[in-house]
Every structure is written in C-alpha cells, then in structure tokens.
Amino acid sequence: MTQPSVFTARDVRVYLEDKEIVKGVSLDLKPGEVHAIMGPNGSGKSTFVQAVAGHPHYRLTGELALDGEPLQEVAPDERARRGLFLGFQYPVAIPGVTVANFLKAAVEARRKEAVPLIQFRKELLAELESLSIPSAFAGRYINDGFSGGEKKRLEILQLLMLKPTVALLDEIDSGLDIDALKVVSDGINRATESGCAVLLVTHYQRILQYVKPDVVHVFVDGRIARTGGPEQALELEKRGYEEWVGHRSQAAAGGA
C-alpha cells in the first residue's frame, strides 16, 4: 500500500521584497524518504527551505502542507512544534543559554508536555554518546566558541531529540571533515529509520555516499530543472550544472 505524503509543496514561489527567487516548486515527501536538492550557487535552494520553515524575510505563495494540514499561514514556531525542523548552514551562537536547557525547552514544546528531568537527561546522554559528543557539551552555551563540526553535530543532536516529521537540512555537510561527516550522516540515517522525511540541500555528492537519497532534484534558477534517482548526483559530480544553466539562459534569452 502506498504511503501518503507527510509533506507537500505545490507551485511554491518565494519573494524577497519584489524579486521572485523560487519560481514554482512542487514536491512530495513520504515518511523516511530522503530528497536531495542540488544546484549551483544562487539557484534558490537555501531560500526555498528557509521560506518553507517560515523565515520572516521571505514572502511565500503557493501551498504547503504537513501531515495534510496547511502550513503557509502558520507561524514559524508553530511549524516547528507541529514537526517541521530546519537545520542551519550557519548556526548562530546564543551565549548564556546552555545546550541542555535549550533542548529541554524545545523537546517539551514539541511533545506539548513536561518531560521529567531524569528521563530527559537519560535521552540526552544517549544521543550525545551516539554522536561521539562528550557529556560536558550539554553544559556549554549554544554554539558559543564551537568549531564548525561541533555546530553541525548540535544541529543533528536537535534533530534526534526533537524527532520531527520532516527535516529541512540546509547544507548540513558544509565545512565538515570526513569523521564529522560520517557522524552527522549516521544521525540523519537514524532519523529516517524512525520515519522522519528529509529534504537535504547540498552542493556535493560526498554526503550522499553516506545518506542515500531516494530522489535527487536539480535546482536551477529557482526551479526544479530535473528530478531523478541517486544516480543523478553522480552525474552532476561528473558533468556539473552547465547543461541546465545553459538551457535556462537560452530560454530566458529567447523570451526576451
């Protein structure tokens, strides 16, 4: 029996002031699926996922739904509580707020109930160990003085603790060495095994050696230029984006 989609986007367009950046994107995610979005710089990949998460700088039109419920009029914090997670490319530091305190508040908001401290601590320590993160990490201020790898591991720690329905991961692999990449990839795979659907924005095929995509979308000029299977990523690694960028440029010139 075919599983219903947990996330749908229909003719999504995203504007920054009067400029249209995303120009009519439609896709569906089912539980446990991984969709990779690849494309050249400036193609609108990150703008798309940030707007879907509710970034206030962008205006979004079209239709979004999570578990069949419309999202486009829902505030960003409520989207997160309903199960939409955004992993940042450049996580910000929050001095004065510890990782443990932040995660406990976030977990309780997501579960919509208080979580006993002993239970929370047990879950947190287990996930810290799974990500090869020392337990003392929980007492540090969020991303304050963190290395690039530590910041990305914290994003995945949040993913595993919050157990979202859909995870939007914006270049989560950027700046990682091979050991950190494997740890981050393992965390993503464990999330998908639990049913989380993942939309993974990346420039490189490298992470897709460890996180196997079900679908690869080629993003060019704010649109999905092509959709294929995992082999699409290998083709892009060999041939680059010039073929699709050239087609878009010719089409734009022809319509001018």
Residue 1: predicted pLDDT? 53
**Sheet containing 7-16: which strands, arranged edge to edge?**
19-29, 7-16, 59-66, 69-70
Q: Can you tell me the distance from the alpha carbon of 201 to that of 225, in angstroms, rounded to the nearest whole number?
A: 15
Q: Can you tell me the distance from the alpha carbon of 72 to that of 51, in angstroms, rounded to the nearest whole number?
A: 10
Residues 132-147 have pLDDT tens digits of: 899 999 999 999 999 9
Closest CA to 55 of 70, 72, 76, 78: 76
Residue 243: predicted pLDDT? 65
Residue 246: predicted pLDDT? 52
Q: Is residue 229 part of a domain?
A: yes
Please give the DSSP secondary-structure letter assigned to residue 221.
Answer: T
Q: Is residue 119 part of a domain?
A: no
HSE of 130 in the Cβ direction (CA atoms, 13 Å)? 21
Low-confidence ranges of the chain (pLDDT < 50): 249-256
Q: Is residue 24 part of a domain?
A: yes
Report helix, strand or coil for 33. Answer: coil
HSE of 254 in the Cβ direction (CA atoms, 13 Å)? 6
- Token duo for residue 71: 């999202």
Q: Is residue 120 part of a domain?
A: no
Q: Is residue 71 part of a domain?
A: yes
Q: Can you tell me the distance from the alpha carbon of 2 to that of 4, in angstroms, rounded to the nearest whole number?
A: 6
- Token duo for residue 221: 């000029």
Counting the structural domains of the chain, the total is: 1
- State pTM to two decimals: 0.90
Residue 245: predicted pLDDT? 59
Question: 20 lies in which domain range?
Answer: 7-93+163-255
Cα–Cα distances (Å) from 184 to 187, 214, 221, in that order, read 5, 18, 29
Q: Is residue 81 part of a domain?
A: yes
Write the CATH number for 87. Answer: 3.40.50.300
Task: State the CB neighbour count (10 A cutoff) for residue 90.
Answer: 11
Q: Can you tell me the distance from the alpha carbon of 35 to that of 219, in angstroms, rounded to the nearest whole number?
A: 12
Q: Can you tell me the distance from the alpha carbon of 184 to that of 186, in angstroms, rounded to the nearest whole number?
A: 5
